[in-house]
């Protein structure tokens, strides 16, 4: 898959979505979560955790481009959205507070409509705790998109993007 020039393996993107889905459904169907865990493990073995992190960044960019409107007041909305997201991430048991500045920058770059994958690649290696923070951010962003556009909206967009990449 390609995001403004940066290429990400489609299997890694799917596994990144599976990780966010697992977080979103943490208290739900254990059998479905076990299946997600198996797919994530297989994708990690095949593509490596660095590529899965790139897939997560790709999905954050894809989800946020949908809400980064260029209407009057959009800059204030983007700033407030990012502040609320960071506040929610601070409360997450999966997030190391030291990773929040990088996650904030990833979100800001995505909301600016820039190639967030290429930008993150240039920022250096993604650490283990940052990967968790990015996945948590993706899960929260997905929840937001679903609240605004209806249940399952973010997943439909992801599946459509994956399908388009295969065409």
Here the tokens at position 39 are: 């797919």
pLDDT beyond 90 at 57: yes
User: For residue 122, what pLDDT is reported?
Assistant: 94
Whole-number pLDDT of residue 27: 64
- Chain mean pLDDT for the chain: 84
Residue 28: Cβ-neighbour burial (10 angstroms; 0-12, 13-18, 19+): exposed
pTM: 0.85
Number of domains, the chain: 1
Range of the domain at 79: 2-166
Confidence category of residue 106, pLDDT binned at 50, 70, 90: very high
**pLDDT confidence band for 112 (50 / 70 / 90):** confident
Q: Minimum mean pLDDT among 1-5, 46-50, 75-79, 157-161: which range?
A: 1-5
CA dihedral 50, 52, 57, 62 (to 10 degrees): 150
Question: Is-contact 165 1, C-beta < 8 A?
Answer: yes
């Amino acid at each position: 898959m390609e995001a403004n020039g940066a290429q990400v393996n489609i299997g890694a993107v799917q596994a990144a979505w599976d990780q966010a889905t697992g977080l979103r459904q943490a208290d739900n169907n254990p059998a479905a979560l076990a299946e997600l865990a198996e797919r994530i493990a297989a994708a990690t073995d095949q593509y490596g955790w660095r590529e899965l992190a790139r897939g997560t960044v790709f999905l954050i960019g894809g989800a946020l481009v949908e809400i980064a409107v260029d209407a009057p007041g959009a800059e204030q909305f983007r700033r407030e959205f990012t502040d609320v997201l960071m506040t929610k991430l601070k409360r997450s048991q999966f997030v190391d507070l030291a990773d929040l500045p990088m996650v904030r920058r990833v979100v800001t770059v995505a909301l600016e409509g820039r190639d967030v994958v290429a930008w993150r690649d240039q920022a250096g290696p993604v650490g283990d705790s940052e990967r968790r923070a990015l996945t948590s951010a993706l899960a929260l962003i997905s929840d937001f998109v679903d609240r605004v556009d209806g249940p399952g909206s973010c997943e439909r967009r992801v599946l459509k993007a994956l399908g388009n990449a295969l065409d």
